[in-house]
């Protein structure tokens, strides 16, 4: 069968058994490592996955036509993508491994501008698809502050909550904040970063989101913490904002902008930023250059979404008249973040099934597993780009970032919200060294 040919070409290392729809078992790899056993219930599933794995692997797993009967879906995906990564193949090349895959990849590249035509109405619709799911779902796997973006792991033994607090601290330090500054957060999520900045610095904070669920929860939290006079969250598209801000931050929102809207985004940032202002953009990064969004991710998880490469972002920033003042690449941090999320979700899977159904649970399992494997094996990572309208208003070395983080740790120790961030204990959690 076609799938047999694909696996024989791909699987150099590892230990995989495949049971086909007739009950026949075939082994692949060199027999090393954890044994993974998968099963096709139909010939159609094997054929679809061989011809278009980018879309059909996730769909067949959701429908139950493709099952993992020893190990789990993460084990299977990590085996496949680890082999692809060790052969020096990027995520794009994984999707172009034969003539059919290459044709589909070129077709999806050609559709990028259409699929990512994220005007105001479409952007709101895309956000609703993912972020207006039940808030109870996100409580099953996120940290207590509901940070739904890459954490920042300062050392091997950090819990998820500690690493997400470290992310907020790291972002705050790069913003070089002073009390009373006006700060804008484009894509403010459930409000955790804004509340942190307001408490730590006494800034005047405005966050914008298109998610009704996030809008309600974040404002409720601001009121609960007695910060409503300093913090406001708006249900509003950033493109409709006016005024000037000392600082602009955006964490995990840029992936929803779309390639055709980058100039619009950076032009708006420039218009909203004071001449002596500083902005920080935190986004997932496609380290191998421009590509196409996974067809399955675009259909089921993030419609209209796209992970950019630096080569697509920095030229637009230059044309928008912005000075790039610092770039940092966070390499394996998101793989570690997703490891926590996946394990937490699986521990609470029965609760997710009560909220939705079995098909949804299989979809979410696949989403978390394939995302983690992308960051772990085929070069996905994160960038943080600091920028402004002028290059003269920040310290000329990066020493101020570490110094500010040290000051923030002292402040956190005195805060009732951050002084006792609980360590996360997960049975069988791998160490950082094992995750590399």
7 and 75 share one domain:
yes
pLDDT value, residue 105: 81
The mean pLDDT value for 281-306 works out to: 95
354 in the same domain as 257: yes
Q: State the total domains in the chain.
A: 2
In the predicted model, is pLDDT for residue 88 greater than 50? no
Give me the pLDDT at residue 431, please: 36
Q: Are 11 and 76 in contact (CB under 8 A)?
A: no
Q: Is residue 23, in this structure, part of any structural domain at all?
A: yes
Which residues are CB-neighbours of 156 under 8 A, at least 6 positions away?
431, 432, 433
The mean pLDDT value for 129-144 works out to 93
Is the model more confident about 378 or about 256? 256
CB 135 within 8 A of CB 217: yes
Residue for token digits 């943080």? 384
Give Cα separations from 118 to 187, 237, 315, 341 (angstroms): 15, 11, 20, 28
The CA–CA distances, whole Å, from 3 to 51, 71, 93, 227, 307 equal 8, 20, 18, 57, 28
Of 153-157, 313-317, 362-366, 381-385, which range is least confident? 153-157
Residue at 115 is within a domain? no
Which CATH number is 106's domain given?
Answer: 3.30.1050
Chain mean position to CA 391 = 29
**Region 318-340 average pLDDT:** 97
pTM for the model stands at: 0.91
- 362 and 280 belong to one structural domain: yes
Whole-angstrom distance, CA of residue 124 vs CA of residue 114: 17
423: pLDDT strictly greater than 80 = no
- What is the predicted pLDDT for the residue at 313? 98
Structure tokens at 386: 């600091």
- Confidence class of residue 1 from pLDDT cuts 50, 70 and 90? low
pLDDT value at position 378?
87
In-domain check, residue 334: yes
**Residue 165, in any domain of the structure:** yes
Give the mean model confidence (pLDDT) for residues 36-48: 95
C-alpha to C-alpha distance for 337 and 432, rounded to whole angstroms: 11
pLDDT tens by residue, 383-422? 999 999 999 999 999 999 999 999 999 999 999 888 766 5
Residue 95: pLDDT over 80: no
pLDDT at 138 over 90: yes
Among 51, 80, 110, which residue terminates a domain? 110
Domain boundary (110, 143, 177) is at 110
Last residue of a domain, one of 110, 138, 165: 110
pLDDT at 3 over 50: yes
**Distance of alpha carbon 177 from alpha carbon 155, whole angstroms:** 25
Nearest residue to 178 via CA among 206, 200, 208, 207? 200
CATH of the domain at 135: 3.40.50.150
Is the Cβ–Cβ distance between 363 and 58 less than 8 Å?
yes
Can you tell me the mean pLDDT for 364-371? 98
Whether 106 is covered by a domain: the verdict is: yes
- pLDDT for residue 425 is more than 70: no
Mean pLDDT of the chain: 91
Which residue did the predictor score with more confidence, 101 or 326?
326
Residue 436 has pLDDT above 60, yes or no: no
**pLDDT greater than 60 at residue 91:** no
Residue pair 260/232 in contact (Cβ under 8 Å)? The answer is no
Q: Kindly give, in sequence order, each residue whose CB lies less than 8 Å from that of residue 229, ignoring residues fewer than 6 positions away.
A: none
Whether 429 has a pLDDT exceeding 50, the answer reads no
pLDDT interval class at 435 (50, 70, 90): very low
Structure token pair of residue 362: 């299989």
Q: What CA–CA distances, in Å, run from 201 to 73, 128, 195, 377? A: 44, 32, 10, 39
Question: How far apart are alpha carbons 15 and 33 in whole angstroms?
Answer: 6
Domain range enclosing 390: 121-435
- At 92 the pLDDT is 53
> What number is the average pLDDT over the span 197-210?
97
What pLDDT sits at residue 86?
65
């Amino acid at each position: 069968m076609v799938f047999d040919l694909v696996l024989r070409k791909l699987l150099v290392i590892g230990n995989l058994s495949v049971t086909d729809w007739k009950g026949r078992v075939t082994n692949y790899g060199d027999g090393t490592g954890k044994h993974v056993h998968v099963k096709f219930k139909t010939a159609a599933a094997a054929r679809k996955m061989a011809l278009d794995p980018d879309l059909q692997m996730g769909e067949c797993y959701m429908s139950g036509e493709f099952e993992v009967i020893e190990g789990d879906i993460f084990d299977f995906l990590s085996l496949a993508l680890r082999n692809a990564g060790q052969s020096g193949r990027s995520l794009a090349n994984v999707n172009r491994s034969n003539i059919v895959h290459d044709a589909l990849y070129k077709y999806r590249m050609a559709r990028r501008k259409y699929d990512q035509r994220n005007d105001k109405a479409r952007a709101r619709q895309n956000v609703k698809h993912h972020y207006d799911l039940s808030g109870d779902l996100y409580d099953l796997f996120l940290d207590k502050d509901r940070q739904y973006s890459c954490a920042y792991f300062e050392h091997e033994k950090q819990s998820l909550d500690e690493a997400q607090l470290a992310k907020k601290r790291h972002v705050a330090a790069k913003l070089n904040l002073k009390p009373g500054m006006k700060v804008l957060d484009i894509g403010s999520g459930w409000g955790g970063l804004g509340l942190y900045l307001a408490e730590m610095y006494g800034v005047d904070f405005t966050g914008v989101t298109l998610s009704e669920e996030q809008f309600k929860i974040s404002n409720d939290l601001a009121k609960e913490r007695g910060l409503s006079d300093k913090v406001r969250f708006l249900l509003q598209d950033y493109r409709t904002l006016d005024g000037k801000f000392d600082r602009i931050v955006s964490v995990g929102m840029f992936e929803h902008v779309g390639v055709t809207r980058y100039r619009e985004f950076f032009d708006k940032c420039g218009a909203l930023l004071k001449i002596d202002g500083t902005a920080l953009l935190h986004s997932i990064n496609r380290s191998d250059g421009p590509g196409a969004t996974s067809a399955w991710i675009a259909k089921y998880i993030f419609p209209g979404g796209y992970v950019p490469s630096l080569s697509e972002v920095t030229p637009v920033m230059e044309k928008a008249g912005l000075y790039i003042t610092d770039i940092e690449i966070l390499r394996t941090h998101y793989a570690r973040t997703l490891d926590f999320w996946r394990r937490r979700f699986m521990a609470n899977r029965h609760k997710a099934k009560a909220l939705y159904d079995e098909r949804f649970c299989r979809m979410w399992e696949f989403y978390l597993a394939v995302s983690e494997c992308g960051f772990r094996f085929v070069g996905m990572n994160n960038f943080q780009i600091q920028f402004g309208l002028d290059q003269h208003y920040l310290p000329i070395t990066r020493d101020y970032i570490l110094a500010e983080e040290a000051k923030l740790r002292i402040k956190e120790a005195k805060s009732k919200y951050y002084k006792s961030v609980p360590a996360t204990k997960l049975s069988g959690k791998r160490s950082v060294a094992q995750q590399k």
